[in-house]
A and B are shown apart, each in its own frame.
Chain A
Amino acid sequence: MSTLTVEQRLSQLWETPKGVYGWFASVDHKDLGKRYLATAFVFLLIGGLEALLMRIQLTRANQALLTPEMYNQIFSMHGITMIFWYSSPILSGFSVYLVPLMCGARDIAFPRLNSFTYWAFLFSGILLYVGPFMGQAPDAGWFSYMPYTNIVYSPTHGIDFYALAVIFLGISTTGAAINFIVTILRFRAPGMSISKMPIFLYSTLTISCVILFAMPALTAACIFMELERRLGMHFFGVASGGNPLLWEQLFWFFGHPWVYVIFLPATGMISIIIPVFSRRTIVGYTYVVSATVLTGMVGFSVWLHHMFTSGMSNLTMSFFSAGSMTVSLFTTITIFAWLATVWKGRPVVTTAMLYAIGTAALLVIGGLNGVVTGIIPVDWQLHNTYYVNAHTHYVVAGTNVFAVFAGFYFWLPKMTGRMMSERLGKWSFWVMFIGFNITFFPMHIVGLMGMPRRIYTYSSGLGLQPMNELMTVGAFIFAIGILLSIINLFYSLRRGELAGENPWNSDGLEWNMASPPPDYEVLHIPTVSTRAPLWDDYDEKADPNDERLLSHARLTITTSLLDAIPLAAAAMPSESLVPMFLALALFGFFLALVFQLMWVCLAGLIVTFLLGCYWLWPRPIKGEL
């Protein structure tokens, strides 16, 4: 032992074994974060291919490339994949990778839970895609309204796959949210009080709390749906005293906060990237943070704006219309803070900065056309037209995808240790940006002309064909832009320049270590004295008495909730296969539930419980406590 250097000792404690076992058993948040990102990106590509199929079908009037049934399945799978399996998990991927690094901790609060939530996310996605391979995909859109989805109108297993895969994903999402909350509240570096947290941590904390309160509504709705479909109970059928609006209420009580779940971490990333490339700290930190938290809270009082056409009292509608407009105020505060940061700084135009500014531009368009649909009579006119498609794609695809690409160009050098090509990156940005606007801006116009969404074709006399041809061309340009970035990634993995510790001269703690970070990440747990740790004169790594070295066991430091005063050293578990097997057991349970194999379900539950018992049994951690 004594012959090893401190670095070697820490590496021994924190490294994941090589080989197949280590790959499946890893609980390292860096491995899992990268896997989250890669898996979610694959879902983006799958969802994107489905979108291209739809665009090809809609290019010309009265085209019969896809049957109506196939078209229904493809638009449903596109929405479900993008909303549930791409846009939130990819942000979770960034959070899993970055939250411990930004906190200066050596791992996330519950590393094995982190592994479980990754595998549960992957297996729930596989469960969703079992359906299409059996020819029984969900076909009622991503919000699966009753009564389309009851057993009479949707007799296949498609909706069962939807409901159960979504419940399964909900378990994964909730576990990840709990992990983020505890990590951000307890694992921040000493001195990083709640007023000095990077904004990305604030947005992740906000959406994690939102998930805790919003996700159960969807779970409840899916449980009711399955009970009605498969056991013949009555929740949504009017004849037996049910109410189809119950589904809409529960779904949108979840659904609108979910919009902020896939939006706030994206803005959080932009709030990190824009100041770095403007060479100054963000303007109005307190206002941006308050706006982030308030968006999460007020996001719970807007859900009825999805249901203005379902028949409600004027007072109810006015309240929710006002709530919807209030939320846009907070987004406006954030956007003006970004603009002021660029204005007062000395901006450097890198690819990441271009994507960040592009996000802001698309967010302004998506925000403005969203405020318009928040006005009740306008909503009645525009409901269920392509105008709504334009809005959702500007806010979800625009802000999420462009912010995610900004995040990739900004943080991939940290993850891979190699720089991406700036030249190819800028090409990719402009191709994507132009393609995006050619695809989605005409949707406003065809929407105002009355083209309904979710219809597999349109007749030739309506004059819609030129715009639709344009949109299809745009969709392919957008796809080429994404392809350029994928090529850029593989190019940088092989040929990219070495990134070094801090290629962007950034201010966050995650840049205070080698790229890619060593297994133990930080030699000494850092201490922090300002909001921009690497831009001040204070030395974060200074630790003359080796108090925060913690090289005798797998340990990291926990601090108090508000002031980040160091309290204790947390013992961290090592690699384990149990989380994966637990997720696999739950996969078996849900798959059996789709086909009503109740004994297999019971077996799945028992195995889950036994694995949980094994997981939690006391066993020593690596090192000498």
Chain B
Amino acid sequence: MSSTAQPPIAAGPPLAPGAPHTGIWPLEVNRGIYGVYCLILTEASLFAAFFASYYFLGTNKYRWSIDTPPKMLLAFVMLAILVSSSLVMMWGERMVKQRRFGLARAAVVVTVLMGLVFLTVQSFEYLAHWKTLTPFTDSYGSIFYTITTFHAAHVVMGILMLCYLAILPNYGPTKLPPHRAYRVVSLYWHFVDIIWVFVVLLLYVIPHFQFYGL
């Protein structure tokens, strides 16, 4: 083989002050972020499959939703709760960057509480909705409750992750993994919130504005 030898790319970047390091190398802290992005992509694909099924079930119907469209008020209240909880988490991330870990921890607790309020409001929404529509009524009820319940399950998962984050001993630069737990959990939480935006748009809002012809 021809000689194409080039000088090696050996030495790493200079060490940042305050960042964890080992010997001459900075300590790697970003693997988990890559992992959680992959997790979010595959979870988003799961919801994409759900939404696609929602519309596929509507293709051979005279109107979709079959029943009266769901009321929007509570869904928007829940949207407001989740979006503001995401803002709280973003603020918490900024606090982590500024190394004000007490405030960051408080942000996690507030987000947990907002998540619990979301679930409470959702149970009221279910109670009201259940009088006219159950998962066993027809295909519309089945897919509607499946999507919203799976979203709720993701909220529960997010809350559990946030609780775990709240008791983790370390948020800042550390030599002990997990390294960027705060970022990982908040990314997941933002993802759960964004899914609710799609749920509100596709399942609650659009059925009110669809034109069915004659």
Contacts and interface: CB of A to CB of B under 8 A. Distances in A.
B11 A547 contact: yes
B168 interface: yes
Contacts of A215: 42, 45
Nearest to B33: A182
A297 B25 CA distance: 37
B138 A241 contact: yes
B46 A569 contact: no
Interface stretch (A16-24, A31-39, A229-237, A446-454): A229-237
B57 A243 contact: yes
Interface in A217-249: 217, 219-221, 223-224, 227-228, 231-235, 240-243, 245-246, 249
A538 B7 CA distance: 9
Contacts of A181: 34, 38
Contacts of A527: 8-10
B61 interface: yes
B126 interface: no
Contact of A620 (B53, B169, B176): B176
Interface string B40-62: 01110110111011001101110
A536 interface: yes
A241 B28 CA distance: 53
Which of B10, B48, B59, B174 gathers most chain A CB within 10 Å? B10
Contacts of B41: 212-213
Interface in A517-534: 527, 529-530, 532
B24 A537 contact: no
Given A240-B138, A250-B49, A529 B26 contact: no
A522 to B, nearest CB: 14
A529 B136 contact: no
A553 interface: yes
B14 to A, nearest CB: 11
Interface string A168-187: 00000010011001100110
A241 B140 CA distance: 8
Given A566-B9, A568-B12, A609-B160, A241 B53 contact: no
Interface string B162-192: 0010001110001111100100000000000
Interface string B7-24: 011111100000010111
A224 B43 CA distance: 16
Contacts of A570: 27-28, 31
A48 B77 CA distance: 57
Contact of B135 (A191, A233, A536, A568): A233
A366 B135 CA distance: 45
Contacts, number: 205
B4 interface: yes
A212 B177 contact: no
A568 B45 contact: no
A332 to B, nearest CB: 28
A216 B20 CA distance: 37
Contacts of B12: 547, 557, 566-569
Contact of A234 (B27, B50, B139, B176): B139
Interface residues of B, number: 65
Contacts of B98: none
Contacts of B141: 233-234
A221 B145 CA distance: 15
Contacts of B176: 618-620
A227 B134 CA distance: 13
Contacts of B69: none
B1 to A, nearest CB: 4
A435 interface: no
A224 B42 contact: no
B143 interface: yes
Contacts of A235: 53, 57, 139, 142-143
Interface of A is mostly: mixed
Interface string A552-570: 1101011000001111111
Nearest to B140: A241
B102 interface: no
Nearest to B53: A246
Contacts of A231: 135-136
A226 B201 CA distance: 27
Contact of B57 (A190, A241, A535): A241
B214 interface: no
Interface residues of A, number: 77
The listed residue with most B CB atoms (<10 A of its CB), out of A181, A212, A568, is: A568
B74 interface: no
Contacts of B84: none
Nearest to A534: B1
A213 B178 contact: no
B5 interface: yes
B146 interface: yes
Contacts of A462: none
B66 interface: yes
Interface in A182-208: 182, 185-186, 190-191
B10 A241 contact: no
Contacts of B10: 190, 527, 543, 545, 547-548, 566
B39 interface: yes
A213 B140 contact: no
A536 to B, nearest CB: 5
B210 interface: no
A625 interface: yes
A227 B31 contact: no
A568 B4 contact: no
B149 to A, nearest CB: 10
Contact of B27 (A249, A537, A568): A568
A536 B139 contact: no
A1 interface: no
Given A215-B42, A555-B22, A567-B12, A243 B31 contact: no
Interface of B: 1-6, 8-13, 20, 22-31, 34-35, 38-39, 41-43, 45-46, 48-50, 52-53, 56-57, 59-61, 66, 135-136, 138-143, 145-146, 150, 160, 164, 168-170, 174-178, 181
11 contacts: A215-B42, A224-B146, A250-B52, A529-B8, A538-B4, A547-B10, A552-B23, A568-B28, A570-B28, A620-B175, A625-B27
Given A182-B38, A249-B52, 11 more contacts: A182-B34, A212-B42, A216-B49, A220-B46, A234-B139, A235-B142, A246-B57, A529-B4, A536-B2, A568-B26, A620-B175
The 7 closest A-B pairs by CB, nearest first: A538-B5, A216-B46, A241-B139, A569-B25, A570-B28, A220-B49, A568-B28
